[in-house]
Amino acid sequence: MKLLWAPWRIEYITGEKEHGCIFCRKPGEGNDKKNLILYNGQTGFIIMNRYPYASGHLMAVPYRHTNNLSDLGEEERLELMSLTIKCTEILKALSPDGFNIGMNLGKTGGAGIDDHLHFHVVPRWSGDNNFMPVIADVRVMPEYLEDTYETLRRQLNTLER
């Protein structure tokens, strides 16, 4: 049997669980770097997943607290899609070969945070961990979150020039 160490997961497993909606709370805290927020738009924002499926796992999130796509107005829907596209542009800094993009609606649909909808944008590489999370409940993280955050911020700054 092979062992893959992921000591950063212990924080998630044993740490104090946050109460309330992180997607509502984090943008208003004024500490984007600590909260891994890469970009703030008019009706939504881009945040890194603190417990990612792969390095660079981003989420595009509307500010409005809802789990129903129909609740979003046209401007919010348009920006949510624009933020999802911006995620793929930011992630080009990591040179992925492709992306998984999706939304899990409802707990049964696989949503970890089921009361505030959001898109996941996960970079993928040929020969990466493939089905490790599915068949072995293992994720392979080649870089610290803070380092990935800095790389993606530099890419975002390049895009915004």
Q: What is the mean pLDDT of residues 112-122?
A: 93
Q: Residue 121: left (phi > 0), alpha (psi -120 to 50), or beta?
A: beta
Q: Which residue has the higher pLDDT, 134 or 48?
A: 48
**Max Cα-Cα span within the chain:** 52
What does the pLDDT read at residue 51?
Answer: 82
CA 149/CA 62 separation, integer angstroms: 20
27: DSSP letter: G
The two beta strands, 58-62 and 98-102, are unpaired
**Residue pLDDT, tens place only, 79-110:** 999 999 999 999 999 999 999 999 998 888 88
Exposed/middle/buried for 39, CB within 10 Å: 0-12, 13-18, 19+?
buried
**CA–CA gap between residue 40 and residue 68 (Å, rounded):** 21
pLDDT in tens, 13-42: 677 777 889 999 999 999 999 999 999 999
SS3 92: helix
* pTM, entire model: 0.80
Per-residue pLDDT tens digits for 35-76: 999 999 999 999 999 888 788 999 999 999 999 999 999 999
Alpha-carbon distance of 119 to 47, in angstroms, equals 10
Pairing of strands 58-62, 44-48: antiparallel
pLDDT band, very low/low/confident/very high, at 134 (cuts 50, 70, 90): very low
Domain ranges within the chain, ordered by starting residue: 18-159
CA distance 81 to 83: 5
The string of pLDDT tens digits covering residues 1-12 is: 455 566 666 666
120 assigned to active site: no
Confidence of residue 123 (pLDDT cuts 50, 70, 90): very high
> Residue 135's pLDDT is what?
43
> Which is catalytic among the residues 57, 65, 116, 118?
118
Q: What fold is seen in the domain 18-159?
A: HIT family, subunit A (3.30.428)
